[in-house]
Amino acid sequence: MPDTPAAWIPRLTAIATAEGQDDGAHDLNHLHRVWQAARALLASHPEADALVVLAACYLHDLVNLPKNHPERAQASRMAAGLARSRLAEAGFPADKLDAVAHAIEAHSFSAGIAPATLEAMIVQDADRLDALGAVGLARLFYTAGRMGSAFAHPDDPLGRRRALDDRAYALDHIEVKLATLPAAMHTAAARALADQRLAWLREFRNAFVREWGVVG
């Protein structure tokens, strides 16, 4: 079988789903969306290795620990190691394994690993784009529900008189983390789209606060 992205998608999907993830914010649909976003970014960067990007997009959450797990910051390194093993077993080109592993390690916000290759930059941008916009909002509240967070602070949802705390209040996550993502994008196309999606999230936040019933 040729080593093309199209030929590898079913094999990567099988590897990704074999671990039996039960997190709806990091399910197969998330992986498909990250790859679709990465494909769009690849159009502006034809020099990037599309097969490396594809493999990292589908296997970046192979080990997915909850956001409040004490080893959360190590999850991407664990995923990279497991992906390397599974890809080698599947006959993935050996000379691309290091690049895939690095892209997986560097995708994670909590790991704090700077992407050193164009492929890793594209994967990180594509994954972070899925945290923004309408789907990102749905993922935000889904994850907050799993963590037992409240929707918003009862009296000060915008955090004007308190420190923001996105562990306690889901709405705080927009400014605590999501608002930082556009400036951290590595590709111009991702940055432009991230700015648009963040603007939409802030419009939602303002509408939410009006309906929440707090004045000022």
Kindly report, residue by residue over 146-156, the tens digit of the pLDDT: 999 999 999 99
Q: Say what the pLDDT of residue 72 is.
A: 65
CA nearest to 89, candidates 101, 98, 97:
97
Residue 39 lies in a domain: yes
Residue 127 lies in a domain: no
The better pLDDT of the pair 153, 69 is held by 153
φ, ψ (nearest 5 deg) of residue 150: -80, 160
Domain-ending residue, one of 120, 145, 162:
120
Same domain, yes or no, for 112 and 141? Answer: no
φ, ψ (nearest 5 deg) of residue 80: -65, -45
Same domain, yes or no, for 29 and 93? Answer: yes
Q: Is 152 left (phi over 0), alpha (psi -120 to 50) or beta?
A: beta
Residue 144 lies in a domain: yes
For 156-204, write each residue's pLDDT tens digit.
999 999 999 999 999 999 999 999 999 999 999 999 999 999 999 999 9
Are the beta carbons of 129 and 197 closer than 8 angstroms? Answer: yes
Q: Where are the alpha helices (DSSP H) in 148-187?
A: 173-176, 181-184
Q: Does 10 have pLDDT greater than 90? A: yes
Residue 74 binned pLDDT confidence (cut-offs 50, 70, 90): confident
Residue 41 lies in a domain: yes
Statement: the pTM of the whole predicted model exceeds 0.75: yes
Could you list the residue range(s) of the whole structural domain that residue 83 is in?
5-120
Q: Say what the pLDDT of residue 68 is.
A: 60
